[in-house]
Amino acid sequence: MLPLVGAGEMSLQDALVQEALGIPGSVLMESAGRSVGEFILTTLDPAEVTILVGPGNNGGDGYAVARYLLSWNIPVKVYASEPKSQLAIMQRRLFTRSGGRVFPLKDIFAVESMDVAVDALFGVGLKRPLDGIYADVVSYMSEVSTRVNIAVDMPSGLSADTGMPMGSVFPADYTITFGLPKLGLFLEPGFMFSGKIRVDSIGVPLSVWLSGISVTHWAVVKEDVQVALASLVSPSHKGEAGRLLIVGGGDIYSGAPLMAALGAMAMRTGLIYVAVPDKIKSYVAGRYPELIVIGWNEFDTALLDKIDAIVLGPGMKELPPFIDNILDIPIPRVVDASAIRRDILIGMKGSYVITPHPGEAARLLGTDVEKVKNNRLRTTQELLNYAPVAVLKGRRTITASGSVRWINTSGNELLAVGGSGDVLSGMIGGLIARGLDVATASWAGVYMHGWWADYMKEKGGMLLPHKVIDIDFFTEIFKRSS
């Protein structure tokens, strides 16, 4: 996993690293400048590089980038405001003494097109919306023609703590961030401004950057999921691959519990029971013979003694008669869709996860959807008042448990289709039934769900939830992870 830090943590670690290793800030700035310069030189084949330079240390990085490019005979144009930090003043002097020329920042508005544009206006230290000429310049960069945009450390105008825009934001194709990855680059909507993210240690080992810090935010990557799946025991018979109970369904949403069951099947869950209202039992039972389908009125609560996990809620518009038996049992549960209700969650005990989308989270918390979308980290904290583990869905789904947050990095717009959320609840439930703890199953299931969408997008196909078991994708994932 990638450790993620906010602006305050990064500033503190920067100072601690300099003190612990005796490395001056100027040396780190040199490393940062060379790192960005080498990336531009070796990856982008630039005809000319235009660098926007601010007054602080981010601007100092920009001058260092410019000087290295100049030394490699790459044409460079620097547009800058007056430097204010000592390091920026020093780097500007080094650049001009090396033959570089600095143009006033306002002159950028006369430039009609650029090859490679570099944003070194403001970094992690920005605490308020851009204003004045800086806001105008960043807005202009969203309109002017460029081939590639690169942000140094952070796109100017983006909060390193929340990923929320503070006014205009520089539209980066690449962000090269230093030391430790910044939280705001991975959160929603920050990732949409950040492009491809590259993390450069600038000559300091990761263990040193992490010394003395307790990381609570992590970005989940595919290697983490492969490690989690490798911990699952290879079953010798179906009972050892987990027993999952799915409770849900109704007149309109008779397909929802089926989608959840298919998600669990994709996770190679051994036995899947589906309990639905009696009026839709025959429909559900006729779809997939692998499923054990039970009508609510014939449900024997003795079955709960054999179950490893429960998914409650997909398509459910009324409560099953055995709901009280589900609330107070030591079986881990996934609570989804219409089951995410205060009256249900208040009475629920033991281990469980809730998986709301922003609308369901807003309903549970008594707020509006926009507040949820604009305060996703705060919302996950509030959701933990109702469950030990919470999954707040979105373009960058957040899984929360205790003080830890896992930020998902997979998925795309193909997931915006009916039934995909039901598939996710089944995936999480299936992984729990197979032996993963609730938190791990949640972030791993979320990543695999998004990974599936990424695979389908790469293949140029549509994402149809009922086809989740008809592709070889998950078979290959489990094979690679065994």
C-alpha angle 274/280/393, rounded to 5°?
55
Whether residue 186 is predicted with pLDDT greater than 90 in this model: the reply is yes
- The owner of tokens 């997909």 is 314
Is the Cβ–Cβ distance between 155 and 170 less than 8 Å? yes
For residues 337 and 476, state if they share a domain. yes
> Which pLDDT band holds residue 248 (cuts at 50, 70, 90)?
very high
We report the CATH number of the domain holding residue 73 as 3.40.50.10260
Whether residue 236 is predicted with pLDDT greater than 70 in this model: the reply is no
Integer Cα distance of 235 and 241 in angstroms: 5
For residues 334 and 430, state if they share a domain. yes
pLDDT score at 480: 87
Strands of the sheet containing 102-104, edge to edge, are: 102-104, 76-80, 49-53, 113-120, 145-152, 174-178, 196-200
Integer Cα distance of 184 and 194 in angstroms: 9
Q: What is the mean pLDDT of residues 234-261?
A: 89
For residues 207 and 239, state if they share a domain. no
Share of residues in the chain with pLDDT > 70 (%): 99
For residues 186 and 274, state if they share a domain. no
Ranges 37-51, 100-114, 294-308, 462-476: which has the least confidence: 462-476
Of the three residues 196, 215, 234, the one that is the final residue of a domain is 215
For residue 191, CA distances in Å to 62, 246, 473 come to 22, 34, 26
The residue among 29, 52, 11, 25 whose CA lies nearest residue 161 is 11
Q: Angle, to 10 degrees, between the axis of helix 420-433 and the axis of helix 256-266?
A: 50
pTM: 0.95
For residues 261 and 150, state if they share a domain. no
For residues 159 and 211, state if they share a domain. yes
Integer Cα distance of 68 and 51 in angstroms: 12
pLDDT tens per residue, range 377-435? 999 999 999 999 999 999 999 999 999 999 999 999 999 999 999 999 999 999 999 99
Of the three residues 171, 191, 215, the one that is the final residue of a domain is 215
- The owner of tokens 């911990």 is 231
pLDDT score at 482: 75
What is the 3-state secondary structure of the chain? CEEEECHHHHHHHHHHHHHHHCCCHHHHHHHHHHHHHHHHHHHHCCCCEEEEECCCHHHHHHHHHHHHHHHCCCCEEEEECCCCCHHHHHHHHHHHHCCCCEEEHHHHHHCCEEEEEEEECCCCCCCCCCCHHHHHHHHHHCCCEEEEEEEECCCCCECCCCCCECCCCCCCCEEEEECCCEHHHHCCCCHHHHCEEEEECCCCCHHHHCCCCCCCEEEECHHHHHHHHHCCCCCCCHHHHCEEEEECCCCCCCCHHHHHHHHHHHCCCCEEEEEECHHHHHHHHCCCCCCEEEEHHHCCHHHHHHCCEEEECCCCCCCCCCHHHHHCCCCCEEECHHHCCHHHHCCCCCCEEECCCHHHHHHHHCCCHHHHHHCHHHHHHHHCCCCCEEEECCCCCEEEECCEEEEECCCCHHHCCCCHHHHHHHHHHHHHHCCCCHHHHHHHHHHHHHHHHHHHHHCCCCCCHHHCCCCCHHHHHHHHHC
For residues 107 and 193, state if they share a domain. yes
pLDDT score at 233: 75
pLDDT score at 479: 87
Q: What is the mean pLDDT of residues 172-183?
A: 98
pLDDT score at 238: 64
For residues 128 and 26, state if they share a domain. yes
Q: Domain of 467? A: 223-481
Which residues are CB-neighbours of 431 under 8 A, at least 6 positions away? Answer: 267, 440, 441, 444, 445
Which residues are CB-neighbours of 202 under 8 A, at least 6 positions away? Answer: 28, 31, 32, 35, 178, 179
For residues 289 and 366, state if they share a domain. yes
For residues 241 and 102, state if they share a domain. no
How many domains would you assign to the chain?
2
Of the three residues 198, 215, 232, the one that is the final residue of a domain is 215
Question: How far is Cα of residue 94 from the mean position of the Cα atoms in its chain?
Answer: 39
pLDDT tens per residue, range 324-375? 999 989 999 999 999 999 999 999 999 999 999 999 999 999 999 999 999 9
Mean pLDDT of the chain: 96
We report the CATH number of the domain holding residue 420 as 3.40.1190.20
For residues 122 and 229, state if they share a domain. no
For residues 283 and 205, state if they share a domain. no
Share of residues in the chain with pLDDT > 90 (%): 94
pLDDT tens per residue, range 274-287? 999 999 999 999 99
> Which pLDDT band holds residue 471 (cuts at 50, 70, 90)?
confident
